[in-house]
Copies of this chain bind each other. A is one copy, B any other.
Amino acid sequence: MSDIEEVLRGIVGPGHVLVDPDLRAAYETDWTRRFTGTARCVVRPRDTAEVAAVVRACAAAGVPITVQGGNTGLVGGGVPDRGEVLLSLTRLSDLEPVDELESQVTAGAGVTLEKLQAHARAAGLDVGVDLAARSAATVGGMVATNAGGIRVLRYGSMRDQLTGLEAVLADGTVLTRLAGLAKDNTGYDLTQLLAGSEGTLAVITRVRLRLVPLLPARAVALVAVDGTEGALALLAAARSRLATLSAAELCYADGIDLVRAHGRLSAPFAEDYPAYVLLECAAHSDPTDEILELLADCDAVQDATVAGDQVGRARLWAYRETHTEAISAAGVPVKLDVCVPLRELAGLVAELPGAVAAVAPGARGIVFGHVNEGNLHVNVLGAGEHAEEVTDAVLRLVAQRHGSISSEHGVGRAKVPWLELSRSEAELAALRRIKTAFDPDGILNPGVLLPVR
C-alpha cells in the first residue's frame, strides 16, 4: 500500500493530517465515552474539493473511511473501529447568507447547530430542529443521522428541513443539488436517500435547509396526569386544538424524583402524580390563554402550572431537560432510544420494569421522551454487567409492539446486532443493495448501520 498519509498531506496540507495518538484521541472516542476505536490518522479537509480528493485517495488505496461531524452521536456511528482514516468535517464551516425570499440557507457540513441558529435568528428566522448538543453537533452530522429533538412535533426531523445537499460519493464523484427547490419531481430523491444514511452512502459536504419563522411568544405548561393513557389523552386534545403547539414531552414520577434530588428543585405540585407532560406553544402573540383554555377543558389534567415568561418557562423545562444529567449523576446508564405506535405506548411502559428486572435484578429504568412520536428514551441504571441483556430485552419488547429500535439516534455501530428486529429480511436485502450500488467496495463507514459482510 502506498503511504496514504503522505497523499492526504498533499491534499489538505501537513497540519491537517493528524497521526500522533494524542492528537487523534479526541476523535477516537465519542463524548459519552462508550465508544472508542483507532484511526490510522485524522484528516481535516476544508472544502468539498478536498473531501473528494481524500475520498478518491482512500478508495484508490483501499483504505476505509470513518466520517465524523461534531462527534455528538449516541450510537458510535462517527467513531473509528480498526484503523480507518477518520474524515473530520468540522472545517467545512462556510455559511451562506440567509435567503430570506425562500426562507432557506446553505451551510457547510461542519457548521454547528448553534452557529446556524444564531445566523437564522439574525435574519428573523429560526432552525426547525433543536437539540441539547447544539454547541457541537454539526448540520452535516444532523442530516446524516436525521436528527430529531424537541420540535419534531411542529417541524419534523432534520430530513424535513432539507431541500438539497452536496455530497461526495465513494468514488469521489460530487453530487450537488443546492438550488433548494420546494417541489422537484425529476427522479429518485437522492437528498432524502442520503438523509439518515449515516455516512455509509456518501459524505455530505453541504446542506440546504428550510428555515421557520422566529416565534417570539412562548408559553409552557407542566401538566400532571394519571399515567401514560392520560398523557396520550392530553396530547390528542392539545394536537387538535393548539395550532401553536411545538413540543410535548413526557416524564414519570421516578424521573421527576431523581431530577428534584439532583437539582434541588421544589415539587412542581402539592401532590405527586404518576406522570407529567410538558407542553410548549410558540407563536407571534402570547399563546398562554390558548393553553389555559385547553387545560380547563381536558379531563386528563390532574393539575397544571403555566409559565409565559422566560424564567418561568426555563424552570418548567428543567424538570424535563435535567433528566439526562440527573441520570448520569446517579450512575452509568444503558441508554436506549425507541419508539412505538401510540396505542402501544402505555403497554410498553408498563412492561419495561419487569423485562429489565428479569435480566438485571436490581436495575431500574428511567423513561422520558417525546410523546407525540411515541419516542421514549429508556435509561437503565444499575444494569452492571448485564447491559447487553438489558438492551436485548428492551429492544425485543419494542419490536413485539411494532416499534423502532432507534427512533432518533440512528443505528451506528451500537444497534447493528439488533437491526433485524426493526427490519425484515426483505428490507435488509434492499438496504444492502443500495449500499452496494453506492459503495461497492465498502469504503464508507464500514461496520456502521449494516454489518460488514
Q: List residues of A whose CB falls within 8 A of some B CB.
A: 99-103, 124, 145-146, 148, 152, 157, 159-160, 169, 173-177, 179-190, 192-193, 195-197, 201, 213, 232, 236, 239-241, 243-244, 283-284, 339-343, 370, 372-375, 402-411, 415, 419, 422-424, 426-427, 429-431, 433-434, 436-438, 449-450
Give CA–CA (A419, B411) in the complex, Å. 35
Residues in B with CB closer than 8 Å to A241 are: 284
7 closest residue pairs by CB, A with B:
A182-B373, A437-B437, A184-B404, A433-B437, A192-B192, A186-B422, A183-B373
**Are the CB atoms of A187 and B431 closer together than 8 Å?**
yes
**Are the CB atoms of B422 and A342 closer together than 8 Å?**
no
**Are the CB atoms of B342 and A152 closer together than 8 Å?**
no
Contact among B103, B193, B375 for A193, CB-based, below 8 A: B193
Which of A152, A159, A404 gathers the greatest number of chain B CB atoms within 10 Å?
A404
Query: Nearest chain-B residue to A125 (Cβ)?
Result: B240
**Are the CB atoms of A406 and B103 closer together than 8 Å?**
no
Q: A186-B404, A283-B243, A434-B434 are in contact. Are A427 and B177 (CB under 8 A)?
A: yes
Give CA–CA (A402, B99) in the complex, Å. 15
**Are the CB atoms of B175 and A427 closer together than 8 Å?**
yes
Kindly provide the distance from the CB of A247 to the nearest chain B CB, expressed in whole angstroms: 14
**Are the CB atoms of A175 and B424 closer together than 8 Å?**
yes
**Are the CB atoms of A175 and B426 closer together than 8 Å?**
yes
- Besides A179-B341, A185-B409, 15 other A-B contacts (C-beta < 8 A): A101-B232, A102-B343, A148-B183, A159-B189, A181-B340, A181-B403, A181-B404, A185-B404, A186-B406, A187-B419, A187-B427, A187-B431, A193-B193, A213-B240, A436-B437
